[in-house]
Amino acid sequence: MTKKISKSSVSDQSEYLNNISFLIVEDNAFMRSIIRQVLFTLGARDIREASDGGEALTRLQVFTPDIILLDWEMTPLDGVEFTKIVRTSPDSTNPFVPIIMISGYGEYWRLSAARNAGVTEFLVKPFSAKGLFSRIRAVIERPRPFVRVGHYFGPDRRRKDHSITDERRKDWLSSVAPDDALKQSDINALFNPDDDRPDEDGEQQKIKAPPQKGRDPNHP
């Protein structure tokens, strides 16, 4: 079991991530190194890496991270399928582990697929260090209970109070096309419907994925 992450263990920003362990699952070595450096700058010290979902599953047999940072498009096992296995497989070592997906795309259909797989938070590339930090804080300070509904097992995103906000949210979602790309503040609201806090991602320098021949520079 992952150790319980509490606010008391992250009371000072300089030590915020000192006792939190991470597994970075990303097929691009340069992007892995960037994420590792950002985590190290934020205070993390226990950081492991995997180059795809299959390797990550192997690592999870011997390492229990507190948080997983996950790319989308990887072979032979992509981020969505990896999440489904972690959440629902009888062999999963920790189905409750927070999973933050980091993708170069923010289309609504991708966000829905990630949510339905059980992804905890979603961050779009290019991202800032502050943006990543805010998503990490969200899973540490505002954890959601888990729920099993049909084939779904993951964070419970049902609103605690049903108000006029629900109707506005439904109206907004009905106007979003599957291929519409959402901005980060809308993504945060989609994954955290009860959280009315303003978006914490400032206008800092964005961290871009490295360009690769034949691939989008900000590939998932």
Backbone angles phi, psi at 168, to 5 degrees: -65, -40
Backbone angles phi, psi at 89, to 5 degrees: -70, 140
* pLDDT tens for the chain, residues 1 to 220: 445 554 444 445 557 899 999 999 999 999 999 999 999 999 999 999 999 999 999 999 999 999 999 999 998 999 999 999 999 999 999 999 999 999 988 888 999 999 999 999 999 988 999 999 999 999 999 999 999 999 999 999 876 544 445 555 555 556 666 777 788 888 888 888 766 554 454 433 344 444 443 444 344 3
Peptide bond into 145 cis (omega under 30): no
Name the amino acid, one letter, at 145.
Answer: P
Residue/partner pairs of 81-84 with CB below 8 Å, 24 or more apart: 81/53, 81/117, 82/25, 82/53, 82/56, 82/57, 83/114, 83/117, 83/118, 83/119, 84/117, 84/118
Relative to beta strand 152-155, strand 146-149 is antiparallel
**Domains of the chain (ranges, CATH numbers):** 13-191 (3.40.50.2300)
Provide the 10 A C-beta neighbour count for residue 166.
12
Q: pTM of the prediction?
A: 0.78
**C-alpha angle 1/24/115, rounded to 5°?**
75
DSSP 146: E
Nearest to 111 by CA among 60, 214, 182: 182
* Predicted pLDDT of residue 26: 96
